[in-house]
Amino acid sequence: MYAVILAGGGGTRLWPLSRPDRPKPFLPLLGERTLLRATFERVVPALLGPGDVVVVTDRRYVSLVLDELPELDRAQVLGEPVGRNTAAAIAYAAAAIERSPDDVMLVLPADHLVADQEGFRAVLRDAATVAAGGPPGTGSGPLVTLGIAPTGPETGYGYIVAAGRRPGVTGALDVARFVEKPSVDAALALLAGPAPVAWNAGIFAWRRDAIRAALATHAPDIEAAIKAAVGAGPADPAALDAAYATLRATSIDYAVMEPASRAGGVAMLRADVGWSDLGSWAALRDALVAGARAAGEPAGAVGFGARLDRGSESTLVMGGARLVVTIGLRDTIVVDTPDALLVCAADRSQEVRAIAEELARAREEDR
């Protein structure tokens, strides 16, 4: 078994702290460790050795990965010429990492929160057991995804709709379909429906031959381009550049998991492990509030940096070197950086992404 950590960057919903030169995976949003470091330590050494971990990242961030994870050598960091979403990243890892066809590949996003570390490792072990099923060398093993028990009609997550128990596999469910980021009404309808429903965490387990076969079946354009670039050994940078220039940007969910689920090839395991994708400032606020309450600490205003609060509630303050003073705020996000200050209502923090993209377009136009 081995793990592929996806650290592609992005994190525009966490602007102004997450920037192109140091995006979300490389930020210490939950304490002293960066999110990438926390992801690595989640599986090493309790589940895997350092030699069983590979990181896929944007080529610009290879040095950041090696700085954060000195246990890895350069060959364990795969640099993409440009981001093309998770289908390309996973296809690249499946082709470039020389492992036995029957070895189970775990796929872990680099920037999530998992509160129950041991419980998470137990679920990964179970997922690997399910993924290892199927005749050796056939590429017919199931693709396994982890599903998070919903706590409400969250519209920022994709949903997994199960079809019932998977025959012969304890605790596993067959997946009927995926639903991408529904509206509130659609999410409520899913939660009220008869079928088991879970949030899609983007965490997977499959045999190397199974995911390569699934890519060849459902995303042959991506699989063929990557295979040609990688060949039998490490990819030539020029060949990889040329291949990525032709690739469509799409997620592994759209490219593979959705069509594979319709063919009965996807299984789900539930993961009640205190998970969050930390996909917005509000999500980070919620995670820090939960942690403070669990530790018996005040949770009115949470965050890091130089800050002083009086009487605020459910408020996140991410300060820097200068003091940030908040008084009487409720459900508010405050993020202070040397060149930008964000103040927004927590329930509108998803809109930060649009602001970051607008500013990026303005910078491009000014060049």
Give residue-wise pLDDT tens across range 216-274. 999 999 999 999 999 845 557 889 999 999 999 999 999 999 999 999 899 999 999 99
Q: What 3-state DSSP class applies to 348?
A: helix
Neighbours of 110 (CB within 10 A): 25
Is-contact 141 131, C-beta < 8 A? yes
- Residue 232's pLDDT is 44
Residue 135: pLDDT band (50, 70, 90) is: low
The radius of gyration computed from the CA coordinates of the chain, to the nearest angstrom, equals 21
- Residue 75's pLDDT is 94
311 sits in the region (left: phi over 0; alpha: psi -120 to 50; else beta) called left
Please give the Cα distance from 330 to 345 (Å, whole number): 8
CATH code 3.90.550.10 region(s) in the chain: 2-276
Mean pLDDT over 331-356 rounds to 95
CATH of 2-276, one of 3.90.550.10, 3.30.1180.20, 2.20.28.120, 2.60.40.1480: 3.90.550.10
Is-contact 331 313, C-beta < 8 A? yes
Residue 215: pLDDT band (50, 70, 90) is: very high
Which helix (H) or strand (E) segment holds residue 33: the answer is none
Phi, psi for residue 361 in degrees, rounded to 5: -65, -40
Q: What is the pLDDT of residues 99-110, one digit of tens each?
A: 999 999 999 999
Share of the chain above pLDDT 90, in %: 78
Mean pLDDT over 290-310 rounds to 92
Residue carrying structure tokens 């060149």? 339
Mean pLDDT of the chain: 92
Please give the Cα distance from 107 to 131 (Å, whole number): 12
Please give the Cα distance from 149 to 305 (Å, whole number): 33
pTM above 0.75, yes or no: yes
